[in-house]
């Protein structure tokens, strides 16, 4: 039995990038009141939990992933009181709210960093990784920024130059570099305790846990991740004793490590294994952020039919088997760093992808706007360190009113421009159409709840998944309940034989799929871009 909060296995998450969700005060930027006003909408999708991207005080060099006060909501979004109201309003509806914890680095504007940059030794001198000379050369393992202040030292960034790495210590410190502090150094311990206190602060106010940014990045010189795993295990022990109903979610993308480290869940996304990329993000390899018109690589979910599902299955099944007793893997529709899943795809193709994602073990995550198939908007100037990522962060498209119902501000004041297409999808238009993507998502969420075999804890077995071949067919099972899921993203029709044990099938949901009896044998006939979910009779 997994030792996870009991709400987790029934959850479907919705990721809110708050800048772009709903602006209620007309300043052109989304706010917490906007999230509160849309809770019922989020719940109508079958989503009962939220991951809110960073909303804390920040100079927003990296969309808030450069925090300068961990205990205060940035005024662009509202106040701490508004965040507590969001927790309360969500809880009233039986929903959960998880925050984004940027544990590995702060902004250079953070008072701790400003103090640590001073030449005079003080409480914060060792809270970041500083060398012992301004002239220390960067290496691949220890990239360095030199000349930042009059402190005779260089600091280590964790991501962009303005995101200095907090000092969680070195697992294997180089004896010739005494500035590489061991993981049990008192100043390192102080940083660790502070991070735990920040988590306590928000959980005491009602947060239901955290998605941890770059969770694998904390301890340096840690080739086997032992130091990083030990830190998170300590955090998990705190959760188990003090906040057993709260969750720890990793951005690690290597579930075997993340779940061993005590996370309840890890995203399997575009780094560390090629599993996710092989499904529907090969465009990252080819052209960075999916330039329209450029045909991308060989994702399995590509109508060219050139993908190879075994690239995904190899990694996925290995991590699934290794972690099934510990927690969950999530394959999200997308996130604020990735090209939108809509890029290069039709709504029909998205329906097939979502049928797959909502039928997998673990926890589905829906990135805001993916439920209506919002497009990736190419060519936008960078905003707040987004670069190519901004095309996936444009304002939510609610309806046909001014600024698609996102904001009453003048168009030029919007955080990012809207999708300029006259045919851009909106929630209001899709609400009306029973066959819309939005209603497809709702139906899939309802099925997942009705049939526990399809849910987080059901077993997963590949029935048909061959190198370079379509379709993918797999079995989900919990107790006596068995569901067969068939997925054909390619534009080509495909037919496969089905074993006798799969001959008695009830359709739960399907599009473009037939089960035929030929010479007393059962065949699954799938037209191009099709899917089916069948309940199997015993
Ligand atoms: C976040 C990014 C961010 C980076 C640095 C990530 O993985 O998702 O949006 O730029 O960490 O904090």
**Ligand 1 atom nearest 102 alpha carbon:** 12
Give the DSSP H/E element, type plus range, for residue 267.
strand 265-267
CA distances for 155 relative to 133, 136, 141, 297, angstroms: 10, 10, 13, 38
Average pLDDT over residues 479-491: 98
Note the CATH number of domain 458-536. Answer: 2.60.40.1180
Percent of the chain with pLDDT over 70: 97
CATH 2.60.40.1180 domain extents, the chain: 458-536
Position 176 pLDDT exceeds 50: yes
Distance in Å, CA 251 to ligand 1 centroid: 9
**For ligand 1, is residue 266 a contact (CB within 6 Å)?**
no
User: How much is the pLDDT for 270?
Assistant: 85
d(CA 64, CA 69): 11
**Ligand 1 atom nearest 160 alpha carbon:** 5
Of the pLDDT bands very low, low, confident and very high (cuts 50, 70, 90), residue 294 is very low
Average pLDDT over residues 469-481: 98
DSSP one-letter code for 51: E
Position 151 pLDDT exceeds 50: yes
Q: What DSSP letter does each residue of 207-252 carry, written as one string?
A: --EEEETTGGGSSBS-TT-HHHHHHHHHHHHHHHHH-TT-EEEE--
d(CA 189, CA 178): 17
Q: Is the peptide bond before 471 cis (omega within 30 degrees of 0)?
A: yes
User: How much is the pLDDT for 369?
Assistant: 99
Is 220:142 a contact under the CB 8 Å cutoff? yes
Q: Ligand 1: which of 15, 61, 62 to mutate, judged by most atoms within 8 Å of the beta carbon? A: 62
Position 172 pLDDT exceeds 90: yes
Instruction: Supply 353's token pair.
Output: 């992808």
Average pLDDT over residues 482-493: 98
Q: What is the pLDDT of the chain when averaged over all its residues?
A: 95
Instruction: Supply 483's token pair.
Output: 């569901």
Q: Is 411 exposed, middle or buried (0-12, 13-18, 19+ CB in 10 A)?
A: exposed
Of the pLDDT bands very low, low, confident and very high (cuts 50, 70, 90), residue 287 is very low
CATH 3.90.400.10 domain extents, the chain: 108-167
Percent of the chain with pLDDT over 90: 92
d(CA 142, CA 172): 13
Q: Is 135 exposed, middle or buried (0-12, 13-18, 19+ CB in 10 A)?
A: exposed
**For ligand 1, is residue 62 a contact (CB within 6 Å)?**
yes
Is 98:247 a contact under the CB 8 Å cutoff? yes
Which range is least confidently modeled, 26-40, 279-293, 364-378? Answer: 279-293
Average pLDDT over residues 5-31: 98
Of the pLDDT bands very low, low, confident and very high (cuts 50, 70, 90), residue 344 is confident
Position 284 pLDDT exceeds 70: no
User: How much is the pLDDT for 297?
Assistant: 64
Position 293 pLDDT exceeds 60: no
Position 295 pLDDT exceeds 50: no
Average pLDDT over residues 105-121: 98
Query: Max Cα separation, the chain?
Result: 86
Length of the chain: 538
CATH topology of domain 108-167: Oligo-1,6-glucosidase; domain 2 (3.90.400)
**For ligand 1, is residue 216 a contact (CB within 6 Å)?**
no
Task: Give the angle subtended at the CA of 202 by the CAs of 197 and 208, to the nearest 5°.
Answer: 120
**For ligand 1, is residue 100 a contact (CB within 6 Å)?**
no
User: How much is the pLDDT for 290?
Assistant: 45
Of the pLDDT bands very low, low, confident and very high (cuts 50, 70, 90), residue 291 is very low
Q: Which of 313, 296, 355, 398 is nearest to 510 (CA)?
A: 355
Whether domain 8-107+188-449 has CATH 3.20.20.80: the reply is yes
Three-state secondary-structure class, residue 514: strand
Average pLDDT over residues 18-44: 98
d(CA 276, CA 326): 21
CATH 3.20.20.80 domain extents, the chain: 8-107+188-449
Neighbours of 397 (CB within 10 A): 25
User: How much is the pLDDT for 503?
Assistant: 86
The reported pTM is 0.97
Q: What DSSP letter does each residue of 375-398 carry, written as one string?
A: PP-TTPPP-TT-GGGGGG-PPP--
- Residues 6 or more apart whose CB falls under 8 angstroms from that of 331 comprise 267, 268, 276, 279, 357, 360, 362, 364, 365
**For ligand 1, is residue 367 a contact (CB within 6 Å)?**
no
**What are the start-end ranges of the H helices in 64-161?**
80-92, 111-116
**Ligand 1 atom nearest 389 alpha carbon:** 9
Nearest alpha carbon, ligand 1 atom 3: 65
**For ligand 1, is residue 15 a contact (CB within 6 Å)?**
no
d(CA 211, CA 336): 13
Average pLDDT over residues 406-414: 97
d(CA 380, CA 383): 9
User: How much is the pLDDT for 283?
Assistant: 57
Is 536:502 a contact under the CB 8 Å cutoff? yes
Which range is least confidently modeled, 111-115, 341-345, 392-396? Answer: 341-345
């Amino acid at each position: 039995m997994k030792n996870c909060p009991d709400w987790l296995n029934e959850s479907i998450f919705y990721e809110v990038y708050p800048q772009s969700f709903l602006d209620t005060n007309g300043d052109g930027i989304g706010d917490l009141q906007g999230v509160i006003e849309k809770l019922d909408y989020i719940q109508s999708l079958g989503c009962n939990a939220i991951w809110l991207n960073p909303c804390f005080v920040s100079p927003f060099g990296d969309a808030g992933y450069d925090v300068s006060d961990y205990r205060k909501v940035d005024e662009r979004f509202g106040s701490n009181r508004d965040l507590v109201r969001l927790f309360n309003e969500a809880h009233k509806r039986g929903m959960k709210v998880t925050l984004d914890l940027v544990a590995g680095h702060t902004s250079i504007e953070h008072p701790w960093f400003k103090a640590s940059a001073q030449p005079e030794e003080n409480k914060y001198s060792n809270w970041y990784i500083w060398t012992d000379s301004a002239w220390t050369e960067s290496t691949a393992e220890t990239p360095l920024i030199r000349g930042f202040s009059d402190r005779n030292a260089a600091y280590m960034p964790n991501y962009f130059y303005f995101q200095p790495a907090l000092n969680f210590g070195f697992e294997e410190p180089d004896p010739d570099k005494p500035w590489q502090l061991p993981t049990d150094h008192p100043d390192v311990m102080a940083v660790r305790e502070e991070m735990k206190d920040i988590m306590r602060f928000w959980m005491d106010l009602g947060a239901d846990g955290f998605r941890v940014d770059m969770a694998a990045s904390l301890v340096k010189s840690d080739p086997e991740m032992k130091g990083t795993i030990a830190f998170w295990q300590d955090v998990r022990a705190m959760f188990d004793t003090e906040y057993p109903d709260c969750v720890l979610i990793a951005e690690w993308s290597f579930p075997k490590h993340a779940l061993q480290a005590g996370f309840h869940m890890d995203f399997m996304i575009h780094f560390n294994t090629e599993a996710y990329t092989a499904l529907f993000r090969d465009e990252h390899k080819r052209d960075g952020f999916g330039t329209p018109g450029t045909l991308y690589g060989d994702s399995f979910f590509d109508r060219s039919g050139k993908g190879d599902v075994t690239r995904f299955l190899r990694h996925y099944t290995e991590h699934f088997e290794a972690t099934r007793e510990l927690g969950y893997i999530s394959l999200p529709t997308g996130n604020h760093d990735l090209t939108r899943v809509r890029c290069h795809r039709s709504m029909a193709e998205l329906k097939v992808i979502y049928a797959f994602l909502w039928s997998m073990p673990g926890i589905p995550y829906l990135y805001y706007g993916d439920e209506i198939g919002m497009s990736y908007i190419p060519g936008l100037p960078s905003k707040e360190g987004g670069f190519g990522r901004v095309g996936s962060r444009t304002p939510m498209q609610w309806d046909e009113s001014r600024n698609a119902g996102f904001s009453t501000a003048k168009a030029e004041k919007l955080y990012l421009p809207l999708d300029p297409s006259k045919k851009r999808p909106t929630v209001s238009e899709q609400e009306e159409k029973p066959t819309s993507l939005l209603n497809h998502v709702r139906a899939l969420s309802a099925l997942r709840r009705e049939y526990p075999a399809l849910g987080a804890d059901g077993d997963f077995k590949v029935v048909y998944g061959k190198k370079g071949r379509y379709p993918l067919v797999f079995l989900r099972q919990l107790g006596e309940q068995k569901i067969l899921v068939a997925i054909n993203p390619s534009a080509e029709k495909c037919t496969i034989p089905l074993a006798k044990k799969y001959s008695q099938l009830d359709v739960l949901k399907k599009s473009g799929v037939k089960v035929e009896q030929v010479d007393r044998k059962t065949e699954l006939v799938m037209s191009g871009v099709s899917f089916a979910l069948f309940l199997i009779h015993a």
